Structure 1
Amino acid sequence: MTRASEPSRRTVLAAAVAVAAAGAAGPAAAATPTRPAKAPGGLVDNRAWTSYSDWRAGAARGTRALSGARPGIVVATPAGTTDYTDPHTQKTAAWEYATWTSPVHRLTVPATEVIASWNARTPAGTWLQIELTGTYSDGTNTPWYVMGRWASGDQDIRRTSVDDQSDGRSTVWTDTFAVDDAASGLRLVSCRLRLTLYRTPGTDLTPTVWRAGVMGSDVPDRFTVPATTPGLAGELSVPRYSQEIHAGQYPQYDNGGEAWCSPTSSQMIIEYWGRRPTAEQLAWVDPAYQDPQVCHAARFTYDYQYDGCGNWPFNAAYAATYKDLQGVVTRLGSLTDLETLIAAGIPAITSQSFLKTELTGAGYGTSGHLMTVIGFTADGDVIANDPASPSDDAVRRVYNRREFENIWLRTKRYNASGKVVSGTGGVCYLYFPAHASARQRKALAAVGVR
């Protein structure tokens, strides 16, 4: 998302306008509830399908589960062939497809919002559709909502969110399912995912999906959050990249670098874990441009419907295209959670909105901005790689603990016009190895991610 003062295109935790229902129809699969995970702080519930037994437990139509070091699903025998007209190119093509539908997951936190994440490989000639359905607290069901049409490349389809999806009670806002009127008491009490794997007809190509998950949350409306006591101090050595030095570059991707906070932050953490694009992958970038991998990240996180690089799950999915990395979108409950992760060597990308006067030293205000938390000072202040900086050298910042915690965790705020608008309520991206260390797994579990 951009640090500019334009109105946010993601309107979460705000009263939504009812729009025409456009949930994608699809075959329902019989399933049994899965065991819910513990929700940190009682506000967030994460469920991921990653193991061979997880994939075997789903309902398969043309897919099969893979065992081995990194279990997943692939196309076995396609369930059929269908035409897809890409709304961004107007190109119609035939695709073979197969589906996998998760078991029903009973949310430990009856949710006002749900965000899906996925990690996959989609070679040329393949792509994925990710859908969500659920049951409300009154026993009725949502339609199947499309949470993303995604490919790691852009040669076959344009990766895209889908607008105008609502049943008059809930709406999908780009990448987030949200109950329209949380004050009514209506909640989503269970959900499941359906993955559709597409490939060019007559080939043996296939996407491979290693991880699929949902994050349900019920974060209360709040302008302020309780302060936490500083805990562990320390700083991780994370590469520093500025989005601002890319201003004007490749304007077809959300007007260029000034809006590239999300992919720039993603690239920092991808490289922290020792991964980066190859010279061949970067060959399309103008050789005169500094940090070409940031341009690459912008291109391959770009959502053609949202018209930006700030689609949260698309960034996590991009990170997971690098060898043996996982990416998830979740919500954390406090800076103590971030301290736990940093102590285990896991940096995090946080999403926040604020006025210029609300974050000392930032020098700007924003309707939505991503930055990378890399550590904490001895006094508990936040050390962040903030891509909204004039140079790579200037990216490292130290922000006041109390100010940072509040702007990140609140769900309501006042904008520059004095209007009440939404905050993200602790949204962050976590990228970590597919084969994490015991210490890393313990830290992730402590914040509800497995």
Structure 2
Amino acid sequence: MKSRIMWSVVCIMLLCTSMSGFSQGIEFFKGTFNEALTKASNEGKLVFVDFYATWCGPCKQMAEKVFPDEELGKYMNEKFICLQIDVEKEGWQKEAAEKYNVTVLPTLVFFKVDGTVVSRLAGAREKSELLNAAKVARGEELSFEKLYDRAKSKKDLTDMQNVLKQAPEYVGGLQGMEAQKWIVRIDKLYNEYVKAKMGPDFINKEDLGIVSRFNKKNVKDDAVMEFITKNLNTYLEKLGEAPGILLVEYNNNIIGDLAKAGKNEYKKYLDRIKGDLKAAYDIMPTGSKLTPYEKFKYYYDGMYLLSYKKDVPSYVKLMGKYIETMGDQMGANDYGEIAQNMYQMTKGKLTNDQLGQLKDWLVKALQYDNIVLLDKINFVTMLGDTHKALKQFDEAKEAYNQAYMESMKFESKRQMMMVQMVIKRKLQALELAK
């Protein structure tokens, strides 16, 4: 009996050891940055550093979903000394962040053993992107610049596709003229690529992702978008809803630009909603008994009235009919958007009665619980602006303070600070207006 118990204990210990060693992911070194460089030098490795902050949402995402990956961990642990640096922790960690000009979180940097930067990635990355960047840092894969040169010279579609897939993260880490130079190069390469590739082989997830990143969003009758429209059923069958959503965004941008410019041509693209783009718009839930065409017709006809005809009374009347038709299916964004359009497109130059109507729509929007945080802050801030225009200064101050308090719910400290800066300026302007 005793021997059987001992054997069971041994088996449990082995099992626990096996489980703890399985899917370990990246093992981060516990020493300082200089100690990591020394260790890497002794072991013939490079150093990988994750610059993060405890409040950073994308940093937490990488810690939970990317760094624990078994394949990634195996490669990184064999080839690098991996280190995490909290950019806000006083001492060597904050000093390292300042020395290497870390302004975006997370920032992922590969170093030589002398502290020289090999390459860096600004912002969170998927496992595949991080693994590729690590292999490039070690010279096992072509760098972005070399891959671009090869793609440009050989016109190889696979190389061109790889360049376009990697371009956002590479160009995103550049600044000033260097960034602008690469934007021009990538735009040219994209145009060459889609022109050569458009055909049956173009209908795939990778190329759709490239189109969504690089294709101009407001060019009428664009060749790529018309190709997707012509082959929409095949796209939807192979790739799901994503191609349809892309087309809706594209067509809505065209309609909006034309309506704002006062061109009746917007109605031609509005009609596409019930025509060749119907399958795309059918994906989008209207949340009402209205068809997508009927709902967007209210929206863009109203935009035309405001932006071109400057006819606020007709807009209010049209939106009243829209609200009546929607009934209890009106939501926070429905009220918020019609209010935001009226305020922004008239630049707040409204009569007191019109401001009162605007206030009513905003109050109704804010009665809903399921508002996205940024939308809620926008609506509350706009309510403050409306109160200010009506010379209801105490109510305006209350609304601005509420928006300030709501901004504290952002996970991103940077986003919170940017919003609070805007609200503080509005509060200062309010004091002067009094």
TM-score normalised according to structure 2 size: 0.23
The structure with the larger Rg is 2
The structure where helix makes up a greater share of residues is 2
TM-score normalised according to structure 1 size: 0.22
Q: Which has the higher contact order (CA 8 A, sep 6+)?
A: 1
The structure where strand makes up a greater share of residues is 1
